[in-house]
Structure 1
Amino acid sequence: MKWIFFMTSVAFTGFLTACSFESFDPVPGNSSIISTVNIKEMTISFYDIEKDKKLPDWSVDRPYIGGLILPDQDTFLLYGKGVSSADLYSLSKGKKVASWDTGEGIVNALLVRDGTEIAFADQDRDSIRFFDLKGNETDEVKTEKEPLTLLEAEEKLYVISFHQEKLGIIDLAGKQVLPGFEIHPAAAGAILCKEENELWIGGHGEGSAVEELIHIYDLDNGKLKKEISAPVMPVNFTKNQEHIFVLSHGSNTLYKLAEDGTKMDSLKVGANPFEIEFFAEKIIVAGYDSNDLIIIDPQSLEIEKKLQVGKGPFQIVTREGKQDESR
Structure 2
Amino acid sequence: MKRRALFIFSLLQIVWLAGCTEKSFTPIEREKSFVASLNIQEPSLDFIDEKGEVMANWLFEKAYSGAVLIGADHVLLYGNQLSSIDLYDLTTGQKRFTKKVDIGTTNVCYSEATHQFFIANSKTNTVTSFDEEGNELASQQLGNYPMSMAATKDKLYVINYKDTKLSVLNMDDLAVEQEWPITKSSHGIAIIEETNELWIGGHGEGSKPNSTVKRYDLLSGEQLGVIEMPLMPIGLMKADDEILVVSHGRNELYVADFSGTVKWHLQVGANPFVVNKFKDLIVVAGYDDHTLYFIKDGKVQKAVDVGKGSFQLLVREE
List alignment gaps of at least 5 residues for structure 2. Answer: 1-20
2:74 corresponds to which residue?
75
In 2 relative to 1, CA 97–221 (structure 1 residues): closer, same or farther, beyond 3 Å? closer
Cα distance in 2, alignment partners of residues 118 and 40 from structure 1: 25
Q: Which of the two has higher C-alpha Rg? A: 2
1:48 corresponds to which residue?
49
2:311 corresponds to which residue?
314
2:17 corresponds to which residue?
none
1:275 is the counterpart of 2:291: no
2:295 corresponds to which residue?
296
Secondary structure, aligned partner of 1:148: strand
Cα distance in 1, alignment partners of residues 244 and 142 from structure 2: 29
Q: What is the CA-CA distance between 1:206 and the residue it aligns to?
A: 1.0
Contact 2:283 2:293 in 1 (8 A): yes
Identical counterparts, % of pairs = 34
| Runs of 4+ with >6 A deviation | none
Contact 2:52 2:304 in 1 (8 A): no
Contact 2:113 2:153 in 1 (8 A): no
2:254 corresponds to which residue?
255
Q: Deviations over 1:240-270 (max 9, x none)?
A: 3322221111111111112111121110110
Secondary structure, aligned partner of 1:63: coil
1:107 corresponds to which residue?
106
Q: Deviations over 1:120-139 (max 9, x none)?
A: 11222211111111111011
Cα distance in 2, alignment partners of residues 33 and 242 from structure 1: 22
In 2 relative to 1, CA 92–188 (structure 1 residues): closer, same or farther, beyond 3 Å? same
Secondary structure, aligned partner of 1:26: coil
Alignment of structure 1 residues 1-327 onto 2, 5 Å: 22-49=23-50, 52-71=52-71, 73-112=72-111, 114-297=113-296, 300-321=297-318
Q: What is the CA-CA distance between 1:190 and the residue it aligns to?
A: 1.4
| Amino acid of the structure 2 residue aligned with 1:32 | S
Q: What is the CA-CA distance between 1:104 and the residue it aligns to?
A: 1.7
Contact 1:77 1:89 in 2 (8 A): yes
Contact 2:255 2:264 in 1 (8 A): yes
Q: Deviations over 1:172-191 (max 9, x none)?
A: 13421112110122211111
2:18 corresponds to which residue?
none
| Amino acid of the structure 1 residue aligned with 2:91 | S
Aligned-residue RMSD, C-alpha: 1.7
Contact 1:113 1:155 in 2 (8 A): no
Q: Give the TM-score normalised by the residue count of structure 1.
A: 0.86
Contact 2:251 2:269 in 1 (8 A): yes
Q: Deviations over 1:260-293 (max 9, x none)?
A: 1112111011000011112223211111001011
Q: What is the CA-CA distance between 1:103 and the residue it aligns to?
A: 2.8
Count of aligned pairs between the two proteins? 298
List alignment gaps of at least 5 residues for structure 1. Answer: 1-19, 322-327
Q: What is the CA-CA distance between 1:21 and the residue it aligns to?
A: 7.7
Q: Deviations over 1:71-106 (max 9, x none)?
A: 2x3222111111111112222222323211123222
Greater shift, 160-169 or 21-30, is seen at: 21-30
Contact 2:144 2:161 in 1 (8 A): no
| Amino acid of the structure 2 residue aligned with 1:312 | G
| Amino acid of the structure 2 residue aligned with 1:131 | F
| Amino acid of the structure 1 residue aligned with 2:24 | S
Q: What is the CA-CA distance between 1:313 and the residue it aligns to?
A: 0.9
